[in-house]
Structure 1
Amino acid sequence: MHTVPDGVEVVASWDAARHLESPPLLVVDAVTDFLDTHGVGHGPMAWQRIGDGQSNITYLLQRGGDCVVLRRGPRPPLPKSTHDMVREARIQKILRGHGVPVPEIVAVCEDESLLGVPFYLMSRLEGTVVTDAIPSHLSSLEQRGATSVAVVDTLVALHRIDVTRGELASLGSPDGYLRRQVDRFSGLWEVNTSRSLPAVERIADWLGRNLPTSQAAAVVHGDYRMGNLMFAPHAPAGVLAVLDWEMATLGDPLADLGYMTATYSEAGALPTPLELTPVTRAPGYLTRLQLADRYRSRTGLDLTPLPWYQTLALWKAAIFCEAIYTRWRRGERPDDTDFGPSLETGVPRLLDMAAQYAGLIPAPRA
């Protein structure tokens, strides 16, 4: 944990940020005042950046004996209708009331004068996020399989929630969800790129011409993957919390399954910029096909059109990553020395994989 501001990412006050080319991400005195207002801890605040997110930013804050997690969007300027921290906090409050494992929301700040963007505080949970190392308590072959099973079963439980009544019904309209996704992300490409990649339009055309009929309506997480799950700190494997609800809405549940399986790392598959939990390449974890089969057996949904949803997932991911790449090229991600530059080739690789799921280009031979 850090107690002294670094003068670039974290500053003591807005006055200390005047000389910076880019606005800071954390302003100690502003956040400390906010913690005072909501009765969180006493005395100096320590901070630590956590998580693997390439979009929104998360800090662990410690003050006296209290710990909370602060979540905020990236530095402005922000694309419209993205990084809505107020909406994200509201969604988690609603879902917590339906038994979905999410952190408790402690406070929400809509006043942009404090950090330049809205943010919220949530409770700290003692758990494990599985990324590039297998936790010791989940390292046996049995627990590796149980970890994969927990990923699928948590998604099934989310998709079983009735979205036709109460506050959930106000989160969006599932009707026309797939068409809106294709149209919306086609428009996002046009405003978030500075280069020509014809595959984007080609895949968009294929998606539009082969739109499946949705079989159900559900809460769609939008970024459902193992790296956005926190597991209990002991065996057996169990999901303590589902994290990162920025893209959640009501829609077609197979969109989540398509994303989860298309971005899931398995032995023999080519890596992508979205390979954020590479450990599932190791023996013991379920394969993509096994994940899908378990989901099908518990929901009864027809997975014949799953390649369409996998195509959609990787095509959307390419467009989202292109926005990050463009921001990096413009100097709007000054702390990013790895992920941003990797997207020069990473985005075309995602598009190639999307085209393979669509059958537009042949898949590489093993």
Structure 2
Amino acid sequence: MPENPVDPPGLDLARLRAHLDRELPGTVQGPLDAELIEGGRSNLTYVLTDGTGRWVLRRPPLGHVLATAHDMGREHRVMTALGGTGVPVPGTLLLDPGTETLGAPWYLMDFVPGTAHRDAAPLAGLGAPRVHAIGERLVDTLAALHRIDPAAVGLADFGRPDGYLERQLRRWSTQLAASRSRELPGVDRLHGLLAARLPESPVPALVHGDYRLDNVLVDEHDAVAAVLDWEMSTLGDPLTDVGLLVMYTELAGVGGGIIPSAATAPGFPSAGELVARYAGLTGREAADLDWYVAFASFKLAVVAEGIHYRFRQGSTLGAGFERAGEIAPVLAEHGLTTLKER
């Protein structure tokens, strides 16, 4: 550890250390150091250490921030509520909803060891049987989330399930408008088709909002050790999570690795296998799956366009952001193709 740690972008280590010493006295024992974790595409994630202990801090991105898209309190609340359930989450330690310490709200949680599998090659090295088991456990954890009674964990008011899909379409269309700086072929047509074909949602559940393999940590026994990145979580239509997982599986490796390639590793379950396992565990048939996959494509296209917008402003941190703009038209086309072919 350096004797004089350098502040990574977005963190003031001296202010942070003073705040932690006030709110969690005795937790940090030595000089505090921090490293930005690469790979995130929205909120910023740092690993903190004092040379002995390790913790994880989350804060919104620098610069342009879309309303409601980077709610630290929301992430902190859902993970706190899920502690002790069948859904593994990091322990939450502290929420700072103000801006005095870091210029934005932030929260601190336990460090959980494990691997977020993003690339196919390292995952393939485990062998096809282990890869298949990891894919199955990914679905098992999603099913466990969707089986939780929100009221039983204090989340009965965590969202408004009635009209959820209509509001989601409106929300993502609004966010696209807020980040739009160029023509984006196909995206308006896709939005129109989605609006015209809204399905009837099943019984609502806790929805993660960005559920995929590299948003979970897998331990040395190939079990899911923790589900991460809860910034889009709410009460809503659970099939939106299923559609997103299918979309990430179908487009794995597209865009030069902008979409994670791990699902292309030999042995990883096919989209059909994932859906069938989910249906068997939850009793939910994935009706109108084409709509949910197309909606996932639209939503990720909007996220990619937001990253592209922030990158052009020079306010986005991390590797690979310069290519985010390339994937948005590809996602729009995938959504349109899905609605036509299924």
Sort the TM-score into its range (normalised by shorter chain): over 0.9
Residue 50, structure 1, aligned to residue 37, structure 2: yes
Q: Is the 8 A contact 2:63 2:310 kept in 1?
A: no
Alignment partners' CA distance in 2, 1:77 and 1:303: 36
CA 1:136–1:220 in 2, change beyond 3 Å: closer, same or farther? closer
Tell me how far 1:165 sits from its aligned partner. Answer: 4.9
Alignment partners' CA distance in 2, 1:126 and 1:351: 36
Give per-residue Cα distances to partners, 1:268-305, cap 9 Å, x unaligned.
x7714775431321211111111111111222222231
Q: Is the 8 A contact 2:95 2:108 kept in 1?
A: yes
Aligned equivalent of 1:346: 327
Aligned equivalent of 1:249: 234
Instruction: Structure 2: state its 5+ residue gaps.
Output: none
Alignment partners' CA distance in 1, 2:48 and 2:279: 41
Aligned equivalent of 2:254: 271
Residue 307, structure 1, aligned to residue 290, structure 2: yes
Q: Is the 8 A contact 2:145 2:206 kept in 1?
A: yes
Aligned equivalent of 1:325: 308
Residue 356, structure 1, aligned to residue 337, structure 2: yes
Aligned equivalent of 1:174: 161
CA 1:198–1:133 in 2, change beyond 3 Å: closer, same or farther? closer
**Identity %, equivalent residues:** 36
CA 1:3–1:91 in 2, change beyond 3 Å: closer, same or farther? farther
Alignment partners' CA distance in 2, 1:136 and 1:331: 33
Alignment partners' CA distance in 2, 1:196 and 1:64: 49
Q: Is the 8 A contact 1:3 1:45 kept in 2?
A: no
DSSP 3-state at the match of 1:169? coil
DSSP 3-state at the match of 2:154? helix
Return the letter of the residue paired with 1:129.
A
Q: Is the 8 A contact 2:253 2:264 kept in 1?
A: no
Alignment partners' CA distance in 1, 2:234 and 2:143: 16
Tell me how far 1:158 sits from its aligned partner. Answer: 0.4
CA 1:33–1:270 in 2, change beyond 3 Å: closer, same or farther? closer
When the two structures are superposed, what TM-score results if normalisation uses the length of structure 1?
0.86
Alignment partners' CA distance in 2, 1:152 and 1:3: 44
CA root-mean-square deviation: 2.3
Return the letter of the residue paired with 2:201.
S
Tell me how far 1:62 sits from its aligned partner. Answer: 0.9
Tell me how far 1:3 sits from its aligned partner. Answer: 5.5
Tell me how far 1:111 sits from its aligned partner. Answer: 2.5
Tell me how far 1:51 sits from its aligned partner. Answer: 4.8
Aligned equivalent of 2:141: 154
Which residue of the other structure, out of 165, 179, 184, is the alignment partner of 1:192?
179
Q: Is the 8 A contact 1:138 1:147 kept in 2?
A: no
Alignment partners' CA distance in 2, 1:3 and 1:245: 34
Aligned equivalent of 1:260: 245
Tell me how far 1:340 sits from its aligned partner. Answer: 2.9
Give per-residue Cα distances to partners, 1:87-131, cap 9 Å, x unaligned.
210111011143421000011112211111111110111222212
Which residue of the other structure, out of 290, 306, 319, is the alignment partner of 2:273?
290
Alignment partners' CA distance in 2, 1:349 and 1:2: 43
Residue 227, structure 1, aligned to residue 214, structure 2: yes
Give per-residue Cα distances to partners, 1:30-88, cap 9 Å, x unaligned.
11112212132222112222252111111111114221111111113422112111221
DSSP 3-state at the match of 1:230? strand
Structure ID, larger Rg: 1
Residue 27, structure 1, aligned to residue 12, structure 2: yes
Greater relative contact order (CA < 8 Å, ≥ 6 in sequence):
2
Alignment partners' CA distance in 1, 2:36 and 2:261: 22
DSSP 3-state at the match of 1:122? strand
Return the letter of the residue paired with 1:146.
A
Aligned equivalent of 1:202: 189
Return the letter of the residue paired with 1:31.
L
CA 1:342–1:277 in 2, change beyond 3 Å: closer, same or farther? closer
When the two structures are superposed, what TM-score results if normalisation uses the length of structure 2?
0.92
Alignment partners' CA distance in 1, 2:112 and 2:178: 38
CA 1:69–1:163 in 2, change beyond 3 Å: closer, same or farther? same
